Amino acid sequence: MSQYVSRLGGSRVTPRIRFPGGFPGGHRRPRRIAMLSVHTSPLHQPGTGDAGGMNVYIVELAKRLAAINIEVEIFTRATTGALPPEVELSPGVLVRHVDAGPYEGLAKEELPAQLCAFTHGVMQAWAGQRPGYYDLVHSHYWLSGQVGWLAAQRWGVPLVHAMHTMAKVKNAALAEGDTPEPAARVIGETQIVRASDRLIANTAEEADELVRFYEADPGSVAVVHPGVNLERFRPADGRAAARARLGLPQDAFVPLFAGRIQPLKAPDILLRAAAVLLDREPSLRHRMVVPVVGGPSGSGLAKPEGLQKLAARLGIADVVRFHPPVGQDQLADWFRAASVLVMPSYSESFGLVAIEAQAAGTPVVAAAVGGLPVAVRDEVSGFLIPGHDPEAYASALGRFVDAPELVGRMGAAAAAHAQSFGWDTAASATSDVYTAAMYEHRRHVRSHHG
């Protein structure tokens, strides 16, 4: 089956899946799927704890699948006792809370010990339904994949898995002093790659990594780009109005960091680059504001105040503004208000924040890693930086300082570039992957029983 869906240069191809000779015996999309998100709830606010791009991905994808008549039930771990067992997120999308382990204070690293309890909860929910209730399991991240593997086998349905991030890829590009991902995760991911009927990768590069690092069958990997909510993230009433709402000076140069504060995301590189800029151009001090919007997460929780201390050590505490995570609508305002979004990550399976900022009309300076070269059009909607040298980031930011009209020009190109990343495209491509997985699964079952 030809499955490499799009090879990306500057242009973007709508993901397509081709079936040689069509589907003999007819084919159908699933009516209802079980979506698994063990470690992060679609109801949590992105930018807090372990909630990030994956939460946004699951919520938006589920809503758009429901809009094309595929019902979605999302299983996630209950993190407080007050949660009802079921919450309707939107028509056709149900969130089911599963009791697994203590509600509070359980780190993502401790969750593997709760997978058995979580699987039990999923099985209990299924046991109350008629046979054939779910047509397919779609798991997100390796913890969910472990549960999905068992559930799909038990229910006799296909398993579609999205990695989002991979241990081997993260470990190959660790930030200095960051903790490597444990061997248990590598083993778990390897098992899931073998067990899945289909793997969904965010980019062609991620598809290649699945094949290279995990020996995935290239024929089972489909590339589907995540989307962006283009109604929410748009230029709207512009930079000046957004700055007025957020209390930012109108004429300031504002390089923004938005995301979880942890070594992997490298917010320290933006701070170091800002210090280099001020060394080169001391007059900037009165007209530069560096907002850091997000909360500590992952290995960043070990030193939650590390970034504040770094700003003080670099002598730039007066220009850096720390802001706790905000809801999606206010985040869109931060993007509009910024001169440029800075994403110096060490590893990024896609970098949804980069697309959101561009959709809001803001250029991006990003590390040339993972999916970011797909998300950002170098020299058109922003600049891609090889490596993590603060001097290189300072030089890219300096181009906006020296030529302020670049912010508007690249911002307009960024908004145009982001238009091709709507969630409807992603949902329709995902439903094609489901259809292919179901067709092959049925054919496989028939050949085994034939």
125 annotated as ligand-binding: no
50 annotated as ligand-binding: yes
Unique residue bearing structure tokens 């991905």? 57
Return the structure tokens found at 10.
């500057």
39 annotated as ligand-binding: yes
405 annotated as ligand-binding: no
63 annotated as ligand-binding: no
185 annotated as ligand-binding: yes
CA distances from 382 to 7, 10, 17, 240, 425 (A): 21, 13, 31, 20, 24
34 annotated as ligand-binding: no
265 annotated as ligand-binding: yes
3-state secondary structure of 449: helix
141 annotated as ligand-binding: yes
413 annotated as ligand-binding: no
46 annotated as ligand-binding: yes
326 annotated as ligand-binding: yes
91 annotated as ligand-binding: no
54 annotated as ligand-binding: yes
Q: What would you report as the CA-atom Rg of the chain, rounded to the nearest whole angstrom?
A: 22
Sign, CA dihedral 428-430-431-432, equals positive
Which residues have CB under 8 Å from 70's CB, separation 6+? Answer: 29, 30, 31, 32, 33, 92, 431, 434
45 annotated as ligand-binding: yes
Alpha helices in 215-264 (DSSP H): 238-246
16 annotated as ligand-binding: no
165 annotated as ligand-binding: yes
DSSP string over 4-28: -----SSS--------TT--TT---
Residue 139 CA to residue 133 CA, distance in Å, equals 17
260 annotated as ligand-binding: yes
Smallest Cα–Cα separation from 229: which of 57, 403, 1?
57
Please report, in range form, the residues annotated as the binding site for UDP-N-acetyl-alpha-D-glucosamine: 45-46, 53, 260, 265, 326, 348, 356
Please report, in range form, the residues annotated as the binding site for 1D-myo-inositol 3-phosphate: 39, 50-55, 108, 141, 165, 185
Please report, in range form, the residues annotated as the binding site: 39, 45-46, 50-55, 108, 141, 165, 185, 260, 265, 326, 335-336, 338, 348, 356, 362
Please report, in range form, the residues annotated as the binding site for Mg(2+): 335-336, 338, 362
